[in-house]
């Protein structure tokens, strides 16, 4: 039996609105720790009425935040980044407590947050317009980039701290205020981060948090006081978001699921490619939207690669997320675990060969939602496992014979979030990268290229819009054009 995080070590407030902490007006939701399936504490959820209050606070704070000089906003971001680093261990413990992320990696989320706040804080004093040459008479024309106003950020449970900073860092740098829905399944790290904004000196109402379930998200999407929604989550929920947003013609940015391919050629460093291929099941306990979970391997190295995967899988330590030597933790819930096990069983009935894992773990793991790292070989392109996002520690391995076949298999899914190519041939790397229907392509990598300075987002059913880089900043700026007639000049 592994230990359960103590309620006394977790945040007490479920709302932060207008700089004040409090409890939501909704039901008490028992938060369950995935490592032991035990309740850590009850969290009082927000209601649509709490959303109204949060939006009012964000709108009240918006004019002054927008008018604040960019250098002052920049300096606040830098203070916040320093606080994130100083509190990295504490924030990491909240990440582990809320969703079972391993303590070896959890503090990285706080350091990553610091990098995002520094990067986008650096943009706060550099948002510039441009002049446009016009014709038809003497005139002066310029383009201005302005904040939308209030951004609603709906955040998923699998990586709340990573996802929320990916959204609010550019949104705030652009001069917007925000209302954040912290997920009821994993509410704590967003609460912990929100407390640091006040410590850094951000004005009250610039950042507001409502912890809630689907009704709270629905209230945010429908709210006339929210100018844009940034949703991170599943495609099924995204369709509901878009349907609701249509009533107010509200803009939405969507970062959704994936079924990212890892393409391994015979000229790759096989051991390195196997290690990185395995990370698709290990990273975030297999619950990452951009994880490489479909391994496409050139046939001449297919069996040696499988042998390496199986051997490496046996060395992955699945266990107590609070143990610093654990390398993979549990999935989020019993429902998720049952669904994942069902997918792996179905895959074997469809002809897949089990290389490792495939079962729920017993013994010390029996009380939690633990599954062995699962590798399934000979997965057919049309099978359920090849097409649908599993969101668990499961890898599907398929052989290919040519570049064209690898491209067809990689792109033969409704998703288009990430793709990973392993080769030592530079020309092939460029050819394959150009052919991928994916918003992010990495060559000889497995995720480390997702830094704040580069754009990230999907194609097809993986969503649209970009977070990160200058493109991510412009997701939260709207364009205004101003034309001045110089034949009738305005007096000074």
Contact between residue 25 and residue 49 where contact means Cβ atoms under 8 Å apart: yes
Neighbours of 46 (CB within 10 A): 30
How many contiguous H segments (helices) and E segments (strands) does the chain have? 15, 22
The token pair that represents 269 in the structure block:
């460093």
User: Which secondary-structure segment (H or E) carries 474?
Assistant: helix 469-474
The CA distance from 104 to 82, in Å, is 21
* Three-class secondary structure of residue 354 per DSSP: strand
CA distance 450 to 473: 16
Task: Write down the catalytic residue from 84, 184, 252, 289.
Answer: 289
Q: Which of 98, 255, 298, 389 is catalytic?
A: 255
Within 10 Å of residue 349's Cβ, how many Cβ atoms? 9
Q: Provide DSSP, 407-466.
A: HHHHH-SSEESEEEEE-S-HHHHHHHHHH--SSEEEES-SSTT--TTS-B--EETTEES-
Report the alpha-carbon distance of residue 83 to residue 235 in Å, rounded.
Answer: 34
Give the sign of the dihedral formed by CA 356, CA 357, CA 362, CA 367.
positive
Q: Which helix (H) or strand (E) holds 406?
A: helix 403-411
Among 444, 448, 449, 415, CA closest to 428: 444
How far from the centroid of its chain's Cα atoms is residue 72's Cα?
A: 28
In contact, 83 and 198? CB cutoff 8 Å: no
3-class DSSP assignment, residue 87 = coil
- Alpha-carbon distance of 207 to 454, in angstroms, equals 24
Is residue 255 flagged as an active site residue? yes
Spell out the residues 6+ positions from residue 28 whose beta carbon is closer than 8 angstroms to its own.
42, 43, 44, 45
Active-site positions read 255, 289
């Amino acid at each position: 039996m592994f230990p359960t995080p103590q309620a006394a070590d977790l945040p007490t407030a479920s709302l932060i609105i207008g700089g004040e902490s409090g409890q939501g007006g909704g039901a008490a939701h028992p938060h369950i720790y995935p490592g032991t399936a035990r309740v850590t504490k009850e969290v009082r959820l927000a209601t649509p009425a709490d959303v109204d209050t949060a939006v009012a606070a964000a709108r009240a704070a918006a004019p002054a935040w927008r008018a604040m000089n960019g250098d002052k906003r920049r300096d606040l971001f830098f203070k916040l980044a320093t606080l994130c680093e100083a509190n990295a261990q504490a924030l990491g413990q909240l990440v582990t407590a809320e969703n079972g992320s391993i303590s070896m990696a959890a503090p990285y989320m706080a350091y990553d947050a610091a990098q995002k706040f520094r990067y986008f804080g650096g943009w706060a004093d550099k948002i510039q317009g441009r002049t446009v040459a016009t014709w038809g008479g003497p005139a002066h024309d310029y383009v201005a980039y302005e904040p939308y106003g209030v951004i609603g950020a709906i955040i998923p449970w699998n990586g709340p701290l990573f996802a929320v900073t990916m959204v609010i860092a550019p949104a705030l740098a652009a001069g917007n205020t925000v209302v954040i829905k912290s997920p009821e399944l994993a509410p704590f790290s967003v609460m912990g981060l929100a407390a640091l904004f006040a410590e850094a000196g951000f004005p009250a109402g610039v950042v507001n948090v409502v912890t809630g379930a689907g009704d709270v998200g629905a209230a945010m999407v429908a709210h006339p006081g929210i100018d844009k929604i940034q949703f991170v989550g599943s495609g099924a929920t995204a369709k509901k978001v878009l349907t609701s947003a249509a009533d107010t013609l509200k803009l939405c940015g969507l970062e959704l699921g994936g079924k990212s391919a890892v393409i391994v050629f015979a000229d790759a460093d096989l051991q390195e490619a196997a290690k990185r291929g395995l990370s698709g099941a290990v990273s975030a306990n297999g619950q990452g939207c951009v994880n490489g979970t479909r391994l496409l391997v050139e046939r001449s190295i297919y069996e040696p690669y499988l042998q390496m995967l199986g051997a490496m899988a046996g060395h992955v330590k699945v266990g107590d997320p609070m143990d610093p030597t654990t390398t993979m933790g549990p999935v989020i819930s019993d429902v998720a675990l049952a669904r994942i096990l069902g997918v792996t069983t179905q895959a074997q009935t469809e002809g897949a060969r089990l290389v490792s894992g495939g079962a729920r773990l017993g013994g010390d793991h029996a009380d939690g939602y633990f599954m062995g790292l699962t590798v399934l070989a000979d997965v057919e392109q049309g099978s359920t496992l090849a097409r649908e996002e599993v969101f668990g520690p499961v890898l599907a391995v398929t052989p290919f014979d040519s570049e064209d076949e690898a491209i067809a298999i990689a792109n033969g899914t409704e998703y288009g979030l990430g793709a990973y190519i392993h080769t030592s041939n530079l020309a092939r790397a460029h050819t394959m990268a150009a052919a991928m229907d994916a918003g992010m392509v990495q060559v000889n990598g497995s995720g480390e290229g997702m830094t704040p300075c580069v754009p990230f987002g999907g194609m097809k059913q993986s969503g649209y819009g970009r977070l990160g880089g200058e493109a991510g900043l412009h997701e939260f700026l709207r364009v205004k054009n101003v034309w001045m007639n110089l034949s009738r000049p305005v007096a000074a």
